[in-house]
Structure 1
């Protein structure tokens, strides 16, 4: 197989792996009734006029199965952290006692669980679409190589390999979604 084909296949694998990693990151943010510090990942706080990631202005820890605590390094950051959490619309209300912020995770209702499963499904669909787009781009690159002199047999083999890589990644998306749905729906 030519170096160009190997490069296309490697790029395809790498891009699909990134799409899968993105899905995993997004699924972690969907809470399943348990306190998880990762649900606050990516949350930005106004730190003296510049947006700063929450874990850089305070310590996030799990107090118990349903409680997260945020200990800011500066007391004057309590209000901005509280505002950022409210604006993020996480479904929890921060409790500020003047020293730390507590987030109590309310038990999920059946309706809210179904809503989270639907949200996870949407994330999964976005990942599937991204993976299919990566496949389409790779096959277009192979067809260009074929016009430039690549043999038809090599092109067909490469397209089949790309389809196999795609199928593998789509099945991994399905596994992640099934695991997340089970986690959300278990009471």
Structure 2
């Protein structure tokens, strides 16, 4: 069979202080040394950000070295930590949530990249996050697979396909035994 080139997708949370630079990585204009046209980009968005967009409020951007716990939090725990960090003056700067959202939409429209993926919904809907400490930090390239990752565990999404047309015998009957052998070979 043929071989397909590998692909990567980089996810960044909207609270990250580098979010605006991140959104420029796939721009078609500007300094080429600041572009990454071969990377796919996705935004990992908490519900709180969308609430701030809806209410036309400011959004705080943080240095991840100052708030390292943010990446392992979602839902109410993330919201509490975020609001506390804001109240403690830990933000590097603030911007209009709507302005940032508009920039995200522009990137998506102009480049087809900067996919919108919703951190809290993904974690709430997953049966993998029921165990304490399990957090989904990203999805795969096409955002249809969500798996937990950590320093101890790497999630991998391997895709494959089986041509069922190759599983008919000389009499036109489907050969289920051949299919079983093919599937065993594909997933070994």
Q: TM-score, normalised by structure 1?
A: 0.24
Higher CA-based Rg: 1
Q: Which has the higher contact order (CA 8 A, sep 6+)?
A: 1
Structure holding more helix per residue: 1
Q: TM-score, normalised by structure 2?
A: 0.24
